[in-house]
Amino acid sequence: MSCAGCSVGTNSGIPSGCKSNGHCATGGCNKLNTYDWLRFLPVPSGQQFNIHEISFKNGIRKGFYSNKNKIDVMTGDMVCVETESGFDVGRISLSGELVKLQMKKRKVNADMQFMSILRKSTDADLERMMEGRAMEGATMLKARTYAKELKLDMKVGEVEYQGDKRKATFYYIADDRVDFRELIKIYAREFKVKIEMRQIGARQEAGKIGGLGSCGRELCCSTWLTDFKSVGTNAARYQNLSINQSKLSGQCGRLKCCLNYELDTYMDALQDFPRDADWLQTEFGNARLVKTDIFKKLMVYEYGDGAKQYPLTIAKVKDIKQMNQEGKKPEHLEGLKYEPETVVKEAEFVNVIEQVSLKTIERAGQKKRQSNQQNRNPNQQNRNPNQQNRSQQARPENQQNSNRDNNRNPDNKQEGDRRNPNTDNRENNRPNNRPNNNRNNNNRNNNNRNNNRDNNTNNNTNNDNPTDK
Which tens digits make up the pLDDT trace of 378-434? 555 555 555 555 555 545 555 555 555 555 544 444 444 444 444 444 444 444 444
Q: Where are the beta strands (DSSP E) in 78-133?
A: 78-82, 87-94, 117-120
- Rounded to whole angstroms, how far apart are CA atoms 21 and 278? 61
CA distances to 290, 292, 338, 385, 449 from 331, rounded to whole Å, are 20, 23, 16, 90, 114
Q: Nearest to residue 219, comparing CAs of 263, 249, 174, 183?
A: 249
pLDDT of residue 410: 46
- Rounded to whole angstroms, how far apart are CA atoms 416 and 276? 121
pLDDT of residue 458: 47
pLDDT of residue 26: 46
Tell me, rounded to whole angstroms, the distance of Cα 326 from its chain centroid: 58
- Rounded to whole angstroms, how far apart are CA atoms 364 and 375? 17
For residue 39, give every residue at least 6 positions away whose Cβ sits within 8 Å of its Cβ, in sequence order, or none. 74, 75, 76, 95, 96
> Do 17 and 10 touch, CB atoms closer than 8 A?
no
The burial of 388, by beta-carbon neighbours within 10 Å (0-12 exposed, 13-18 middle, 19 or more buried), is given as: exposed
Q: Tell me if residue 1 falls in helix, strand or coil.
A: coil
CA distances to 351, 359, 360, 366, 368 from 355, rounded to whole Å, are 8, 11, 10, 20, 21
**For the segment 348-381, what is each residue's pLDDT rounded down to a tens digit?**
766 666 565 667 677 777 887 888 877 776 555 5
Q: Nearest to residue 301, comparing CAs of 285, 313, 312?
A: 312
Q: What is the pTM of this model?
A: 0.54
pLDDT of residue 89: 92
- 287's enclosing H/E stretch is strand 286-293
Q: Nearest to residue 26, comparing CAs of 60, 59, 63, 62?
A: 59
The burial of 425, by beta-carbon neighbours within 10 Å (0-12 exposed, 13-18 middle, 19 or more buried), is given as: exposed
- Rounded to whole angstroms, how far apart are CA atoms 1 and 217? 11
Edge-first strand listing for the sheet containing 286-293: 279-281, 286-293, 298-302, 309-313
Beta-ladder partners of 53: 64, 94
pLDDT of residue 358: 65
Max CA pair span of the chain: 168
pLDDT of residue 433: 43
The b-or-e profile of 60-77 (16+ CB within 10 A means b, else e) is bebbbbbbeeeeebebeb
> Do 63 and 34 touch, CB atoms closer than 8 A?
no
Helix, strand counts (H, E) of the chain = 13, 12
pLDDT of residue 256: 92
> Do 219 and 206 touch, CB atoms closer than 8 A?
yes
Below-70 pLDDT ranges, the chain = 1-47, 344, 347, 349-358, 360, 377-469
> Do 309 and 302 touch, CB atoms closer than 8 A?
yes
For residue 20, give every residue at least 6 positions away whose Cβ sits within 8 Å of its Cβ, in sequence order, or none. 26
- Rounded to whole angstroms, how far apart are CA atoms 164 and 121? 11
> Do 116 and 68 touch, CB atoms closer than 8 A?
yes
Q: Nearest to residue 74, comparing CAs of 110, 99, 101?
A: 99
For residue 138, give every residue at least 6 positions away whose Cβ sits within 8 Å of its Cβ, in sequence order, or none. none
- Rounded to whole angstroms, how far apart are CA atoms 21 and 12? 11
pLDDT of residue 445: 56
pLDDT of residue 429: 47
Q: Tell me if residue 460 falls in helix, strand or coil.
A: helix
N residues, the chain: 469
- Rounded to whole angstroms, how far apart are CA atoms 251 and 375? 70
pLDDT of residue 448: 56
pLDDT of residue 435: 45
- Rounded to whole angstroms, how far apart are CA atoms 267 and 430? 97
